Amino acid sequence: MKLINWASIVLAVFTLILTIVFFTWWAMKDSVVFGNEKFDQVKWMQSAATIETECKRGDMAYHLQQRILVRGTPREAVAVLLGRPSYEDSNALEYDLGKCMHVYHGLRIFFDENNRLLHSRISSH
């Protein structure tokens, strides 16, 4: 009986530690995976057609998202800065980041009814 109680405690502690590690990684993954470089407009534009590099724009995405794309920026200014999007609809633009960590990612930028930037997120496909 004591062995079962001890095993239950060990399992609970292991589960708690694993949960903490997972959610810490999840909260920091964008900065770790997509934050290796500062945004460079020339490199961004040149990477649009690149197929040699898997995570072609991913290294700049976090810096771009956190430091360059400011809430309220006009949609036209974002399009001039980043070029032609991979996907576009009435309230969002999406730019292909490439295959990062074995999954294809995109930088999705959302706009309000006045075509002003609301927020952006890195999404996986």
112 occurs within a structural domain: yes
Query: What integer pLDDT is reported at residue 89 of this predicted model?
Result: 93
In a domain, 50, yes or no: yes
pLDDT (tens digit, 9 = 90+) per residue, 16-56? 888 888 777 666 666 666 667 889 999 899 887 666 668 88
DSSP string for the chain: -HHHHHHHHHHHHHHHHHHHHHHHHHHHHHHHHH-SS---HHHHHHHTT--SSTTTTHHHHHHIIIII--TT-BHHHHHHHH-S-SEEETTEEEEEEEEETTEEEEEEEEE-TTSBEEEEEEEE-
Instruction: Specify the pLDDT at position 51.
Output: 66
**Between residues 107 and 25, which one has the greater pLDDT?**
107
Task: Evaluate whether residue 107 is within a structural domain.
Answer: yes
Could you tell me if residue 18 is inside a domain?
Answer: no
Q: What is the pLDDT, as a whole number, of residue 74?
A: 97
Q: Is residue 120 part of a domain?
A: yes
Residues near 123 by beta carbon (within 8 Å), at least 6 away in sequence: 94, 105, 106, 107, 108
Cα 39 from Cα 81, distance rounded (Å): 11
- Judged against a pLDDT cut of 70, whether residue 105 lies above it is answered with yes
The whole-angstrom separation of Cα 89 and Cα 110 is: 10
For residue 103, tell me if it sits in a domain: yes
CATH number, domain containing residue 88: 3.30.1450
Task: Give the pLDDT confidence score for residue 55 in this predicted structure.
Answer: 81
**47-96 pLDDT, tens digit each:** 876 666 688 888 888 889 889 999 999 999 999 999 999 999 999 999 99
Confidence class for position 125, pLDDT limits 50, 70, 90: confident
Q: Distance between CA atoms of 107 and 86, rounded to whole angstroms?
A: 10
Query: How many structural domains are present in the chain?
Result: 1
14 domain residue, yes or no: no
